[in-house]
Amino acid sequence: MFDVTALGEVLIDFTECGHNPDTGMALFERNPGGAPANVAAAVSRLAGRAAFIGKVGEDMHGAYLKKTLDEIGVDTSGVSVDAGAFTTLAFVSLEPSGERVFSFARKPGADTCLTAEDIPTALLTGSRILHFGSLSLTNEPAHSATLYAVAMAKKSGAIISYDPNDRPLLWDSRERARKVMRSVLPQVDVIKISDEETELLTGAADPEEASRRLIEQGIGCVVVTLGAKGALVRTAAQAEQSEIVPGFASKVADTTGAGDSFWGGFLYQIAQSGKRPGELTLAEAAQFARFGNAVASLCVEKRGAIPAMPDMDTVRARLEGRA
């Protein structure tokens, strides 16, 4: 039984890393990433059992991504290779604050070519949690494949986790993005959204009100990430209350993967608890968020996403004030 199986994009983040001293040209380093893959990597680095479902191109980047996941212990039996599409690339420039600006090479990217036939049923029925994001919903056939996977996993009793992870450049319109991202909410048991996505997903910009509306739609546990301020949590078991869990101080090098590392830590804790999201008390959800905050605070201190995921010993040291 896997703790978490993540489905969606695995890609290369070409992250800006200074300039050539002779020419002044920007330099980019190749980092393995992709939000769902990052979540699986975070779980695996914490010694959880994680699997990933997705598609890469038959190229050097696809081979590198699969090797990277294999090396950190993520099961890649659900990773297929497409000879007709190139592995998706994301070019990431960093602002002085560490925030990111994206440009994508994905027309189409291999991740959008995932089909239902590519998905091993055993990964859907043999996982405590199935996690997915919205990028696999932007294009067919990956859109239909994602809906198939969610339905199959839910039927088998898996917890369904969703992170919208809004990337406006990958949608043909904001209206379609809003409609499609909201369409899957009835299937979701636990959700993470950022404070920048609340209005898109719920119509309410305020994190408190947005979390309340998502609980009212039947989601068992809602987490709204608040950047350096931490995260707001609300559960169906105590729907009238919420709690803001403060983050940890960090020396930020790169925020790529911050939300994914947080969510990997949070989902790892749910898997270990043996509880459904709707059964969690507010205190339990807050404890899980504190753990996720510690994971994220360590991730942002290194460059890249998957390479920056911390192990359990390092996370415990941060929780105990030793790191």
Q: What confidence tens digit (pLDDT) does each residue in 257-267 have?
A: 999 999 999 99
Classify the C-alpha dihedral 111-116-120-126 as positive or negative. positive
Q: What confidence tens digit (pLDDT) does each residue in 246-302 have?
A: 999 999 888 889 999 999 999 999 999 999 999 999 999 999 999 999 999 999 999
What does the DSSP assignment read for 191-214?
Answer: EEEETTTHHHHHS--SHHHHHHHH
pLDDT above 70 (res 109):
yes
What does DSSP assign to residue 173? -
Domains of the chain, first to last: 2-8+33-86+108-320 (3.40.1190.20)
Place of tokens 């959700």: 191
pLDDT above 70 (res 309):
yes
Q: What confidence tens digit (pLDDT) does each residue in 49-89 have?
A: 999 999 999 999 999 999 999 999 999 999 999 999 999 99
Cα distance between residue 27 and residue 15, in whole Å:
8
What does the DSSP assignment read for 53-72?
Answer: EEEEESSHHHHHHHHHHHHT
Cα distance between residue 287 and residue 283, in whole Å:
6
Which of 311, 266, 259, 310 is closest to 289 using CA atoms? 266
What does DSSP assign to residue 309? -
Which of 78, 66, 62 is closest to 5 using CA atoms? 78
How far is CA 234 from each of CA 183, 219, 231, 259, 308, rounded to the nearest angstrom? 21, 10, 10, 17, 28
